[in-house]
Amino acid sequence: MTTLVKNQKIYDEFIDFVAQGTSPESVTKFQFSEATKEQIYDLVERAKLGDLSQYEKNELEQFLVVEHLIRLAKARAHQYLKSVS
């Protein structure tokens, strides 16, 4: 599987979530699938050992970007929920 396809899967999970309609509550609860979590855990562990190919490094980098955006969205959703309560 190419890096683009793997990265697209990571993006697709979050894009599908957003496209289905979200609420601030659902944003705060978003989690990646178990398969994606396991894949990323494996990449992180192998990165610690210096055992990643270049495309795997790119894949991990892309996940970290997506994960950062999700954290920002969750923080904003928490702020919104706090402001309306």
Query: Hunting for tokens 């996940």 — which residue is that?
Result: 63
Residue 62 scores a pLDDT above 70 = yes
> Can you tell me whether residue 14 is helix, strand or coil?
helix
CB contact at 8 A, 4 and 60:
no
Encode pLDDT of 5-32 as tens digits.
Answer: 555 677 788 888 889 899 999 999 999 9
Domain locations along the chain: 3-84
Q: What is the CA angle 75-58-53, rounded to 5?
A: 140
